[in-house]
Amino acid sequence: MVTGAGSGLGQALALELLRRGARVAAVDLRSEGLQETMAKAGSLGEGLSLHPLDITDKEKVAALPEEVERVHGQVDGLINNAGIIQPFKRLLDLDEAAMERVMRVNFWGTLHMTRAFLPRLLKRPEAHLVNVSSMGAFVPVPGQALYGASKAAVMLLTEALWAELQGTPVRVTLVLPGAMRTGIAEHSGVEAPRAEGAKVPVLEPEVAAKRLLDAVERDAFRVLLGRDAQTMDLLYRLSPALAARIVQRRMAHLLT
């Protein structure tokens, strides 16, 4: 199972999983995105099923495991990748609808999917749960306070699940990507500000997908995707205030 499989990292994950011999159930809000994933899969598309779905709809998510099992027989892994960002605004300038939407998709969507599929995963001889959080979960980004809070919730949820599921067949991996070429702003319905002169290394989704799946095969507890995520993780461990100040100085002009 891969959510957000109609574009970006989710699409790259679905395609890479197919190349590695897996069967994939692809979930996305956008049917057109899923059709694009199928087209890119080519001859590998025989192992791909498409499931247009809003992961914030708890009842539809609860019905999804049976739907997927009818197609594939069983589910051995769940990658909660779907997510959106917020409008690039200060907290007090955000409206309630925007704040609730970010939390519903990023946190509650991940939670609904996990609770729906975990009972199935626990019955398998070996299974894996992967939750995609963000570098923004541990480094505060001005103009993305709610997004960061939602991804921080996903991060701690995942770490707690890792502890709770010790001694079971289910392994858990937390993913913390940095900047990536995914089109998340467009699919979130927000305008991304232009960071003039910023020299931020941007990871391609195809490269990120391979690194993520390699980490899953190693049963990694935590994987940082991108040089920026790795650097800021180290810096934040050494000095949280310094890490926060560096990001603030680079991003503050985008809010003026």
- Which residues are known catalytic residues? 147
Contacts of 166 (CB under 8 A, 6+ apart): none
The tokens describing 17, both together, are: 């999983």
The alpha carbon of residue 97 and the mean position of all alpha carbons in its chain are separated, in whole angstroms, by 21
d(CA 222, CA 224) in angstroms, rounded, equals: 7
Per DSSP, the three-state class of 10 is helix
Task: State how far the Cα of 9 lies from the Cα of 82, in Å rounded to an integer.
Answer: 9
| CB distance 119 to 108 below 8 Å | no
> 11 and 180 in contact (C-beta within 8 Å)?
no
**Number of Cβ atoms within 10 Å of the Cβ of 113:** 25
d(CA 29, CA 255): 29
Nearest C-alpha neighbor of 110 from the set 134, 133, 126, 128: 133
Beta strands in the chain (DSSP E): 2-3, 24-28, 48-52, 77-80, 127-132, 170-177, 222-225
Cα separation, 94 vs 68, whole angstroms: 37
